[in-house]
Amino acid sequence: MSETRLLFDGASRTFGSGRTLVEALRPTHLSVDAGELVAIMGPSGSGKTTLLALAGALDRPSSGKVFVAGQDLASLRPRQLAVMRRRTIGYVFQELNLLPGLTARENIALPLELDGMRLSQAHQQADSALDEVGLFDLANRFPDDLSGGEQQRVAIARAFVGSRRLLLADEPTGALDSVTGEVVMRLLRKHCDAGHTAVLVTHDASHAGWADRVVFLRDGTIVDETGASPDATERPISHWPSPSSP
């Protein structure tokens, strides 16, 4: 049986109270296994970002529980949560991903250093993470000297560096052109195929297409998901229009 990396057990999030109460996320059940890439789609205000914030321990549910790597986030003290964010969870956002005063290598090494790793060892791990995303030669570049696609690849390398196994991404391909966006998605896919887990919020259907499962949110509720019967869609493509007669 597959290991569950992320579990929403009836977790919800409300803001305000009384007449101004807003249910950003209604009680939600969602389970994501090791090796899975799950895309979350839905209109603005449907609860995508709230869901991601709860999964990443950046926010706490109003009711229900969120488990990451088997641990109930509510049971962790602030210090333990900080450790969880450094060691287990990686984040990639559309913008403001990298610290501009640090090189690519230093950006990736930073969470490891904060976690008490020796500088030389952190740099070594950063280099191998950069190598994995095909940017070994650019280790000494600053973010401003990298293209948008390269910056996102560095951000992904950082999100998976060390022991981190759960990546949470909010529109990571948002500012990229189609070809570069695909490079980023192939990279996420490669990591998930190697046993990592990723939850990706996107409005871009062609990028969500790389996911094993697409979850649809509406008004704070999961209304549907794809991937119930992947075999059914795996048949050879055979329903093409026939060529017109000569």
Partner 1 sequence: MSVRHSLLALLAGEPAHGYGLKSGFEASTAGTWPLNVGQVYTTLRRLERDGLVKPTGTGDDSRQTWRITPQGRKELGQWFDTPIPGDPPQRDELAIKVLLAVATDRDDIADMLQSQRVSTMERLQAYTRHKRRADPQAELPWILLLDALILQAEAEVKWLDLCEARLQKRKKR
CA distances from 240 to 52, 231, 237 (A): 39, 19, 7
Nearer to partner 1, 116 or 246 (CB): 246
CA 57 to chain CA centroid, Å, is: 13
Q: Residue 79 and residue 19: Cα distance in Å, rounded?
A: 35
**Chain residues in the site for partner 1 (CB under 8 A):** 41, 43, 186, 189, 204-206, 208-211, 214, 216, 223-227, 230, 233-234, 237, 240-246
Minimal distance in Å, beta carbon 225 to partner 1? 8
Minimal distance in Å, beta carbon 223 to partner 1? 6
Nearer to partner 1, 26 or 86 (CB): 26
Nearer to partner 1, 17 or 44 (CB): 44
Phi then psi for 81, rounded to 5 degrees? -65, -40
118 in helix, strand or coil? coil
Nearest Cα neighbor of 90 from 14, 3, 197, 166 is 166
Nearest Cα neighbor of 101 from 66, 71, 138, 142 is 142
Minimal distance in Å, beta carbon 214 to partner 1? 5
Minimal distance in Å, beta carbon 211 to partner 1? 7
Minimal distance in Å, beta carbon 242 to partner 1? 7
Host H or E run for residue 195: none
Residue 162 gets the label, from left (phi > 0), alpha (psi -120 to 50) or beta, of left
Minimal distance in Å, beta carbon 64 to partner 1? 24
Nearer to partner 1, 136 or 216 (CB): 216
Nearer to partner 1, 39 or 126 (CB): 39
Q: Residue 56 and residue 147: Cα distance in Å, rounded?
A: 27
Nearer to partner 1, 95 or 224 (CB): 224
Q: Residue 122 and residue 113: Cα distance in Å, rounded?
A: 6
